[in-house]
Amino acid sequence: MEANENKLITYLESLVPPRNEIVTKMEKLAQEDQVPIMDLVGMETLLQLLMLSQPKHILEIGAAIGYSAIRMAQSIPDVNIVTIERDEHRYLQAKEHIAEAGLEDRIDLIFGDALEVLEQVERKGVFDLIFVDAAKGQYERFFTMYEPLLIDSGVIITDNVLFRGLVAEDHEAIEPKRIRNLVKKIDRYNKWLMDHQDYITTILPVGDGIAISKKRGEKI
Ligand SMILES: C[S@@+](CC[C@H](N)C(=O)[O-])C[C@H]1O[C@@H](n2cnc3c(N)ncnc32)[C@H](O)[C@@H]1O
Alpha carbon of residue 2 to chain centroid: 25
Indicate if the pLDDT at residue 1 is higher than 50: no
Q: Which atom of ligand 1 is nearest to the CA of 159?
A: 1
Indicate if the pLDDT at residue 180 is higher than 50: yes
217 — pLDDT class (breaks 50, 70, 90):
confident
Of 197, 182, 191, nearest to 211 (Cα)?
A: 191
* The pLDDT value given to residue 219: 53
Asked if residue 133 has its Cβ within 6 Å of ligand 1, the reply is yes
As to burial, measured by CB atoms within 10 angstroms (0-12 exposed, 13-18 middle, 19+ buried), residue 58 is buried
* The pLDDT value given to residue 68: 98
Residue with the smallest CA separation from ligand 1 atom 10 is 134
Of 102, 117, 31, nearest to 70 (Cα)?
A: 102
CB-based contacts of 135, cutoff 8 Å, min separation 6 = 62
42 — pLDDT class (breaks 50, 70, 90):
very high
Separation CA 185–CA 192 (nearest Å): 10
Average pLDDT, the chain: 96
* The pLDDT value given to residue 175: 96
Asked if residue 136 has its Cβ within 6 Å of ligand 1, the reply is no
CB-based contacts of 99, cutoff 8 Å, min separation 6 = none
Q: Which atom of ligand 1 is nearest to the CA of 30?
A: 9
To test ligand 1's pocket by mutation, which of 61, 97, 111, 132 has the most ligand atoms within 8 angstroms of CB? 61
Model's pTM, two decimal places? 0.96
* The pLDDT value given to residue 4: 86
Distance 151 CA to ligand 1 centre (A): 23
Distance 114 CA to ligand 1 centre (A): 9
Residues 72, 79 contacting (CB under 8 angstroms)? yes
